[in-house]
């Protein structure tokens, strides 16, 4: 909310005084003109003082969003703060359908539809708008968890799209993710376009789902695996994924897992509330946010919360792969990840010796850890693929 000023009282006093004098008929025209000039000047001061807070925010591109680590949690938007919202009087005019939107999803969808501001609240609800005064009219809040599973009840995190034509903001100095393709590629259509409803009014959109941001939904499985047969082993890509992806345990014809020769779809996912310390395990590949990752250099970042990285703090089954605050440490660097084909995902701390996998033939909820590569290769659970 914009800060209150004492100038308003001055304007009211001037106006009241001028009206009273006018009724008495003792005010000359030049005095009325002077009063009007003073009133106009004070009104300008009000506008300037009310926007001071926002000017400070957009001029500081290092504003870190709480819960997003040392970043704004977005690519090109400045974090403006934690604000109040009300169900019976929404701050934003437009809402995306569903509740599974991360900060990056919200930024992308609102920006591509021409909105200057966007907000994330509750369990991934996303709102868009361009009228700052209306958006912050309910006042400020505290305790927002902007990139977390739940932002907080009745509160929302607000950002300004620095790429908007009307924005004077500067894009964040510390971006959450900076993946770069090996060679220039044509732009792919923006994902999640189906989430945006055609209407521009919040109350005309379908009611929001109460689905948890981390709830699972079955993914449509392809008729064939990405790679089959012996010749597929030579298909590799030198570039890393530049968008969010899932890590699927590689399968090919001839594999016999759990006494079954049928194709299996097991993906790496976080457990519990997917916060710092949550371990990783296998789960049936689906559209759940638990399975979304980003490649940032040699690190594997948890897409819904870019402040968390895949971490190997030790070796063996007693040291599962976990999520931890990204710190650039050696235990958060992994080798082998590529866009296409199969690969071994090896922690740099155990390069050539340890491979991320699980124990023997895979099944649901098995914990992932840095196993000996010699064992994972013998049990045909050593390879992964971007899925």
Whether the CB-CB separation of 205 and 97 falls below 8 Å is answered with yes
Q: Which residues of the chain have pLDDT under 50?
A: 1-32, 38, 40, 42-61, 177-237
CB atoms within 10 A of CB 342: 22
CA distances from 283 to 247, 280, 386, 387 (A): 11, 10, 15, 13
Transcribe 22-39 into DSSP letters. Answer: HHHT---HHHHHHHHHHH
pLDDT of residue 285: 92
pLDDT of residue 19: 37
pLDDT of residue 83: 97
Q: Which of 266, 279, 287, 273 is nearest to 220 (CA)?
A: 287
pLDDT tens-digit map of 218-242: 444 333 333 333 333 333 345 888 7
Transcribe 191-213 into DSSP letters. Answer: TTGGGS-S-S-GGGSPPPP---T
Distance CA 241, CA 386 (A): 8
Whether the CB-CB separation of 324 and 308 falls below 8 Å is answered with yes
Tokens 């790496």 locate to: 268
pTM of the model: 0.51
Whether the CB-CB separation of 129 and 172 falls below 8 Å is answered with no
């Amino acid at each position: 909310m914009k800060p209150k000023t004492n100038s308003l009282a001055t304007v009211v006093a001037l106006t009241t005084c001028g009206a009273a004098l006018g009724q008495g008929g003792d005010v000359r025209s030049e005095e009325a003109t002077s009063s009007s000039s003073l009133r106009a000047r004070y009104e300008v001061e009000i506008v300037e003082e009310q926007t001071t807070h926002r000017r400070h925010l957009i001029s500081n591109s290092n504003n870190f969003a709480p819960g997003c680590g040392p970043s704004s949690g977005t690519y090109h938007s400045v974090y403006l703060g934690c604000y109040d919202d009300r169900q019976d009087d929404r701050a934003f005019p437009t809402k995306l359908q569903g509740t599974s939107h991360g900060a990056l999803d919200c930024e992308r969808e609102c920006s591509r539809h021409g909105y200057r501001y966007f907000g994330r609240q509750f369990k991934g609800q996303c709102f868009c708008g361009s009228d700052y005064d209306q958006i912050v009219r309910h006042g400020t809040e505290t305790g927002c968890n902007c990139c977390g599973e739940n932002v907080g009840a009745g509160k929302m995190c607000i950002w300004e799209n620095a790429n908007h034509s009307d924005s004077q903001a500067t894009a964040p100095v510390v971006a959450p993710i900076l993946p770069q393709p090996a060679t220039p590629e044509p732009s792919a259509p923006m994902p999640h376009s189906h989430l945006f409803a055609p209407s521009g009014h919040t109350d005309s959109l379908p009611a929001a789902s109460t689905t948890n941001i981390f709830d699972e939904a079955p993914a449509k499985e392809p008729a064939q695996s990405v790679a089959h047969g012996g010749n597929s082993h030579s298909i590799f890509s030198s570039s890393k994924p530049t968008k969010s992806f899932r890590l699927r345990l590689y399968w090919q014809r001839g594999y016999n897992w759990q006494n079954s020769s049928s194709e299996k779809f097991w993906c790496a996912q976080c457990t519990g509330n997917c916060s710092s310390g949550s371990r990783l395990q296998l789960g049936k590949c689906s559209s759940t946010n638990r399975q979304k990752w980003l490649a940032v250099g040699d690190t594997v970042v948890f897409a819904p919360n870019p402040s968390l990285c895949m971490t190997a703090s030790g070796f063996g089954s007693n040291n599962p792969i976990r999520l931890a605050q990204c710190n650039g440490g050696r235990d958060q660097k992994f080798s082998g990840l590529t866009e296409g084909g199969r690969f071994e995902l090896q922690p740099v701390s155990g390069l050539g010796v340890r491979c991320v996998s699980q124990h023997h033939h895979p099944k649901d909820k098995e914990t992932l850890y840095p196993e000996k590569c010699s064992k994972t290769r013998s049990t045909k659970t050593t390879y992964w693929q971007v899925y």
